[in-house]
């Protein structure tokens, strides 16, 4: 299984950067995980939208879904031009309804809800989910494929359940929007790099890749804080390919 980072920033990108978007590849079966702003442009270096098997979305904040509002036009035009007959399956939380209701457009998408009990098979992948702590309903995502496991934190504060959920993962893709100073200031909604590293260490993951990085901060400090706890921690690199 391959993970290609299309975007690594949140809640807005650095200059020439892109918000959350991760492309999974195995046996010619591409699945997109998150579709934040800028992701559609990067995706087309690899696949047209209608070549995707599915899209998985952890939650309905704009930096994770905004390009779905644009991708639907690409799907509609491709259908009208006879390039595809596909309606793209998009898996999302079912709330909030006002955000979910913005996504449908003609026959572009078939929306399917994620729940804590969901176990979804798409081609060679098996997806399972853990509710985490964020202002909107949000899920961490586990992807099992060909004997390997990728776990993605989604956006979340520290939740102890994430340790077991990520246990033994070959790659843990974890948000690190905060630094130690934010936790000391009691800011909520996100993990610090240190907290991400603590979870990774306790979960016994093989590899920790930090994402949802703040464009307004020195992210070398983010990396340093994580490596103090998990020495092998690394920052996600846009358009990098990670073999899992």
| N- to C-terminal Cα separation, the chain | 5
Distances from the Cα of 225 to the Cα of 178, 220, 221, 234, angstroms: 10, 9, 6, 11
> Tell me, what's the pLDDT at 78?
98
Average pLDDT over residues 36-43: 98
Question: How big, in percent rounded to 5, are the helix, strand and coil portions of the chain?
Answer: 25, 30, 45
Q: 5 phi and psi, to 5 degrees?
A: -85, 110
pLDDT in tens, 122-131: 999 999 999 9
> Tell me, what's the pLDDT at 116?
94
> Tell me, what's the pLDDT at 43?
98
Burial class (CB in 10 A: 0-12, 13-18, 19+), 194: buried
Neighbour tally for 8: CB within 10 Å: 29
> Tell me, what's the pLDDT at 44?
98
Beta bridge partners of 31: 24, 54
Q: What is the pTM of this model?
A: 0.97
Spatial distance between the Cα atoms of 91 and 110, rounded to a whole number of angstroms:
8
Classify 161 as helix, strand or coil. Answer: helix
Q: 49 phi and psi, to 5 degrees?
A: -55, -35
Spatial distance between the Cα atoms of 86 and 203, rounded to a whole number of angstroms:
39
> Tell me, what's the pLDDT at 190?
98
Q: Within 13 Å of residue 214, how many CA atoms lie on the same side as its CB?
A: 17
Tell me: cis bond preceding 155? Omega within 30 of 0 counts.
no
Average pLDDT over residues 151-169: 98
Q: Could you give the domains of the chain?
A: 2-243 (3.60.15.10)
């Amino acid at each position: 299984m391959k993970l290609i980072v299309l975007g690594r920033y949140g809640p807005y990108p650095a200059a020439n950067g892109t918000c959350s978007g991760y492309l999974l590849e195995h046996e010619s079966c591409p699945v997109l995980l998150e579709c934040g702003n800028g992701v559609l442009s990067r995706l087309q270096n690899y696949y047209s939208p209608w070549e995707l098997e599915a899209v998985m979305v952890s939650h309905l904040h704009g930096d994770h879904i905004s390009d779905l509002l644009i991708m639907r036009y690409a799907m509609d035009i491709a259908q009208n031009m006879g390039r595809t007959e596909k309606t793209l399956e998009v898996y999302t939380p079912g709330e909030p309804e006002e955000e979910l209701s913005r996504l449908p457009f003609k026959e572009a998408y078939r929306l399917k809800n994620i729940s804590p009990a969901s176990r979804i098979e798409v081609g060679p992948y098996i997806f399972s989910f853990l509710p985490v702590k964020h202002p909107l309903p949000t899920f961490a995502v586990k992807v099992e494929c060909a004997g390997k496991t990728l776990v993605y934190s989604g956006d979340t504060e520290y939740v102890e359940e994430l340790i077991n959920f990520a246990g033994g993962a070959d790659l843990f893709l974890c948000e690190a929007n905060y630094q130690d100073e934010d936790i000391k200031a009691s800011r909520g909604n996100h993990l610090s790099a240190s907290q991400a590293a603590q979870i990774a260490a306790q979960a016994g993951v093989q590899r920790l890749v930090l994402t949802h990085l703040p464009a307004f901060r020195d992210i070398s400090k983010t990396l340093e804080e994580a490596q103090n706890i998990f020495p092998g921690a690394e920052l996600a690199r846009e358009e990098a390919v990670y073999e899992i």
